A and B are shown apart, each in its own frame.
Chain A
Amino acid sequence: MDFHLTDDQEALRKGTRAILAGRFSPREAMDAPGRLDRDLWRALGDAGFFALALDEAAGGVGLGLPEAVLAFEEAGRALLPGPAVATFLAAGRVPGAAEGTAVVTAVDGVLVPWLAEADTVRGDAAEAVPLRSVDPLTPLHRVPGAGRRASAEAVLLTAAEQLGSAGRTCEMAVKYAREREQFGRPIGAFQAVKHLCAQMLVRTETARAAVYAAALTRDETETAGAKLLADDAATRNAGDCLQVHGGMGFTWEAEVHLHLKRAWVRAELGRTAAEAEETLAEAL
């Protein structure tokens, strides 16, 4: 047993982070909200992002779910907009998905992200009506009725994005707490702030263990648990990060609100907390 990342996995994580950092900034995306950057999508396709888990025989990279989880953790960390999970899962099934030339979305629960920008929709979105989405970087539609249940893989990849966001907001809070001074010292020297940051790390690391393990076991119950803990880590860490930033955290300009809002959106995708908890209880 060696639960930690292999050197190759570490390299994949670093590589994905570098590609995302080089090609995308949330601030620029905010200049054209609701529009999907097709160049970015294709660049991700060229880098193999969507074809990561596709067989080499089918033109894919041939890696597994653990590697996909690492890539989506980076996507969540970078606030990558777009229906990345649906496009990834459509690779090999919908032409152009693997290459990033097609944008694929899916009905997930009662929500459909990025419907107007998508080339292909999985599930029935005929009666979808638009919402005024809380997240400026995720346009949303809503379908009537019970909706469509996301696959276990979609649940896990969404959880991985939540994990990435949780780790990022923890870092942002720590960085700010070391720089911002009040009462003649960094606010991070105050225990009330320090302990918020410590709890953020605890949430992130617990969610990390849960998400990575679910990628290895592919167990439905464990996946539901991973989603639950990752949702919790992403939403609460973003809230604490906002608190650590004070008034700055309440601004449109700071990135914090984007993490919080996206975390709220993702918490409704895949499995909601209520669904995950019932799945977990059922298995007891």
Chain B
Amino acid sequence: MDLTYTAEEEEFRAHLTEWLARTLPGLPPRPDPLDWPGRRVYDTGWQRRLYDAGYAGLHWPVDAGGRGATPTQHLIFLEETEKAGAPYVGANFVGLLHAGPTIASEGTPEQRARWLPPVLKGEAVWCQGFSEPGAGSDLASLRTRAWRDGDDYVVSGSKVWTSHAEVADWCELLVRTRPVSEAVPKHRGITWLAMPMDAPGVTVRPLRTLAGSTEFAEVFLDEVRVPVSHRVGAENDGWRVTMVTLSHERGAAFVGEVVACRRVLGDLAREARANGRWGDAVLRRRLGRLSAEFTALWRLTQWNVSEAQRSGGVPGAGGSVFKLRYSHARQELYDAAAEVLGAGALDLGHEWTMDRLSSLSYTIAAGTSQIQRNIVAERILGLPKGR
């Protein structure tokens, strides 16, 4: 049990914070959240700076163009960039945390050479075309069809809740290549494809979220031709490939956010002391409890990272435990913020009000809390599967 960092890790941290201090003042102003093209330029511009400084794909394997950093170094990177107020991965999220790592572990050498460098350099934005109107939690029941025609797959169907679809160049797409039958269970006929978003037959219709912005979209696919060479993994083996993607999704995705939540909590206490709410013991104690919660979540992150370090970088099932606790804690944090603000919490102009709205998606996106509990109960505790 040791929470101290090695001299090497501290040196890595020192270089990074020094680079951040030098680089952040030169960043352009942040774009309006509703300006998607502007956000793409901003997010990919940041990625390019990371690339030039040698920080792109830190945790990716070296032979995939990454730096082969340890999980601990990646943790330090996420912690320090957040502390310094650096931009978040934003539009690079799917490329860096889902599609990229999947291609790195499952793609052919040609596929890696083609798709990974543009992600690292901030030249390509990816989106995730998994969910469908009829397939959310039950992802394996997806119905978007693909059939072979010469060297192409022809794809028809529709996807939904596709984040960043408006500005993406590529989509990691799950399609059905073999119909479900008595002999073929639903997760045995799925294939993972890389689809160019500018291919003829792709229509993106932005969806407005409850926060008012268009964070995600519907994607309609009408006989879209995708070359067979764009398939990652074997035909009908896409479910296994998908599981690789999802384990990465639940791995390190929230480290920076936990750091940010701890900062917000400090800001809440300051605000409450300033506006007189601090005299309310119920509120004060609520904030005290949240402080314990987020400190523990940070420690749980270090615990999970230590586990990943021991197992050679594979994110464990601990990710589900973390996501369950974190997504609820985050919602409680912004409910407490609303208590601190009082009527001010009804003002959309307040950052915490917007964050309160967006935090509502945390118990839904990337596997709902109910699905995470199924995972914890069945895969960690070994309880029987059931409906």
Contact = CB atoms under 8 A, between A and B. Distances in A.
B378 A194 contact: yes
B383 A174 contact: yes
Contact of B386 (A191, A226, A284): A191
Interface stretch (B56-64, B80-88, B318-326): B318-326
B interface: dominant SS = helix
B284 A281 contact: yes
B311 to A, nearest CB: 10
Contacts of B380: 201
A194 B377 contact: yes
Contacts of B281: 278
A190 interface: yes
Given A198-B377, A209-B296, A280 B288 contact: yes
Contacts of A188: 377, 383-384
Contacts of A178: 382-384
Nearest to B267: A284
Given A2-B306, A2-B309, A224 B292 contact: yes
A5 interface: yes
Interface stretch (A19-27, A43-51, A82-90, A211-219): A211-219
A185 B295 contact: no
A81 interface: no
Interface of B: 1-6, 9, 72, 265-266, 268-269, 281, 284-289, 291-293, 295-297, 299-300, 302-303, 305-307, 309-310, 318, 321, 324-325, 370, 372-374, 376-378, 380-387
B292 A229 contact: yes
Contact of B288 (A1, A5, A207, A284): A284
B1 A6 contact: yes
Contacts of B297: 206
A177 B318 CA distance: 22
A164 interface: no
Contact of A277 (B268, B289, B378): B289
Given A189-B386, A225-B295, A198 B289 contact: no
B3 A1 contact: yes
A212 B287 contact: no
B292 A228 contact: yes
A276 interface: yes
Interface in A132-187: 174, 177-178, 185-186
A213 B325 CA distance: 18
Nearest to A174: B381
Nearest to A225: B292
Contacts of A206: 296-297, 300, 321, 325
Contact of A1 (B9, B269, B286, B300): B9
B285 A201 contact: no
A201 B376 contact: yes
A92 interface: no
A interface: dominant SS = helix
B14 to A, nearest CB: 16
Nearest to B380: A201
A69 to B, nearest CB: 9
B3 A216 contact: yes
Contacts, number: 167
Those 9 A-B pairs whose CB atoms lie nearest each other, nearest first: A225-B292, A189-B386, A281-B288, A277-B288, A280-B288, A284-B269, A209-B299, A277-B285, A198-B373
Contacts of A224: 292
21 contacts: A1-B4, A1-B9, A2-B306, A3-B302, A4-B307, A66-B1, A194-B373, A194-B374, A201-B321, A201-B380, A202-B325, A206-B296, A206-B325, A209-B299, A213-B296, A213-B302, A216-B1, A226-B296, A228-B292, A280-B289, A281-B287
A222 interface: yes
A101 interface: no
A151 B286 CA distance: 24
B384 A186 contact: yes
Nearest to B301: A209
Contact of B291 (A5, A193, A274, A283): A283
Nearest to B290: A280
Contacts of A216: 1-3
Given A191-B374, A228-B292, A185 B384 contact: yes
A46 B100 CA distance: 57
Contact of B2 (A1, A193, A194, A226): A1
A251 interface: no
A279 interface: yes
Contact of B321 (A195, A205, A213): A205
Contacts of A208: 303
A190 B386 contact: yes
Contact of A4 (B1, B72, B296, B300): B1
Contacts of B324: 198-199, 202
B300 A205 contact: yes
Given A2-B306, A2-B310, A278-B285, A194 B383 contact: yes
Given A9-B1, A198-B376, A281-B288, A213 B299 contact: yes
A112 B381 CA distance: 38
Contacts of B387: 191
Contacts of A80: none
Contacts of A194: 373-374, 377-378, 383, 386
B1 A5 contact: yes
A229 B298 CA distance: 14
A260 interface: no
A1 B302 contact: yes
A198 B370 CA distance: 10
